[in-house]
Amino acid sequence: MNPDLLWLPALLVKSFCAGLAVAAPMGPVGVLCLRRTLAQGWSAGLLTGLGAASADAVFGLVVALGLSWLTDWLLAMGPRLRGLSGLGLLGLGAALILAPAREEDGPDPARRWLRDYGSALVLCLGNPLVILALTALFAALGMTADLNAGMPAALAVGAGVFLGSLAWFSLLCAFAMRFRPGLAAHRLRRVNQITGVVLGALGLAMLLGWGLAR
């Protein structure tokens, strides 16, 4: 390895820790990840986590590249974005309350996979306060000076945040899969109802302007 790039692995590890920390607080996407894993299996939960991790990586790149104009715009749009996310959560909650106990892949699994990934991505992008959390974490981990190294540093930060966030959602999926085989249909139906109520309540909280974890 080029001696001038020896700082990159350390930056990647620090970014991984930041991604893990920003994903860990349980919020709507974490609840959705658990429910999809229980009802549909590992792939649905993991795709949900991939969507959330992608959003975290985008926010990490925004911070690492010093795009203050984009940060200011996203934070200014924050209330509107959270309002749209709140409406989305209300819709998801209602759909889950009415959903069948266990959903199997239909004739077009690609559409289901895109839905699982895209819904988590959009929900997470609707919470730009993650930018502030990552900024604080980067400072606490002593990454501020490294971020001045340009594009290689920014890409390392984006990759590290993505992997750290994905690691957390992978743990959630593994946790949920331990309980999936023993869940009867009537219990999965109850899981759907409880999840729908929780997501609806979180959506209402977002509409009321309350700050929430993801």
Write the DSSP string, 52-80.
HHHHHHHHHHHHHTT-HHHHHHHHHTHHH
Distance CA 46, CA 165 (A): 11
Number of H helices, E strands in the chain: 9, 0
Give yes or no for a contact between 160 and 14, defined as CB atoms under 8 angstroms apart. yes
Selected residue with higher pLDDT from 81 and 158: 158
Instruction: Dump pLDDT digits (tens) for 119-128.
Output: 999 988 888 8
Measure the CA–CA gap between 31 and 40, rounded to whole angstroms: 14
The pLDDT score that the predictor gives to residue 85 is 77
Q: For the chain, give the mean pLDDT.
A: 83
- Dist CA 114 CA 112 (whole Å): 5
Q: Please, what is the angle between helix 129-140 and helix 42-64, to 10°?
A: 70
pLDDT of residue 1 exceeding 50: no
Distance CA 160, CA 163 (A): 5
pLDDT at 107 over 70: no
Q: Pick from 120, 92, 111: which is nearest to 29 by CA? A: 120
pLDDT digits (tens, 9 = 90+) for 5-47: 566 788 999 999 999 999 988 788 998 899 889 888 899 999 9
